[in-house]
Amino acid sequence: MAHIDPNPPNPISDAWNTVASYSAYPEAQAAVDRLSDEKFPVEHIDIVGSDLRLVERVTGRMTKGRAAGLGAASGAWFGLFIGLLVGLFTTGPAWLGLILGGVLIGALWGAIFGFVGHAATGGRRDFSSTQSLAAARYDVIVRGGLADQARAILQREGLTGTA
pLDDT tens, residue by residue, 63-82: 888 999 999 999 999 999 99
> pLDDT tens digit string along 99-131?
899 999 999 999 999 999 988 888 787 888 899
> Could you tell me which residue, 66 or 144, shows the higher pLDDT?
66
| Residue 150 CB burial class (10 angstroms; 0-12, 13-18, ≥19) | buried
Q: Comparing C-alpha atoms, which of 16, 2, 12 is closest to residue 142?
A: 16
- Between CA 135 and CA 131 the distance in angstroms is 14
- Between CA 73 and CA 115 the distance in angstroms is 12
Read off the pTM: 0.57
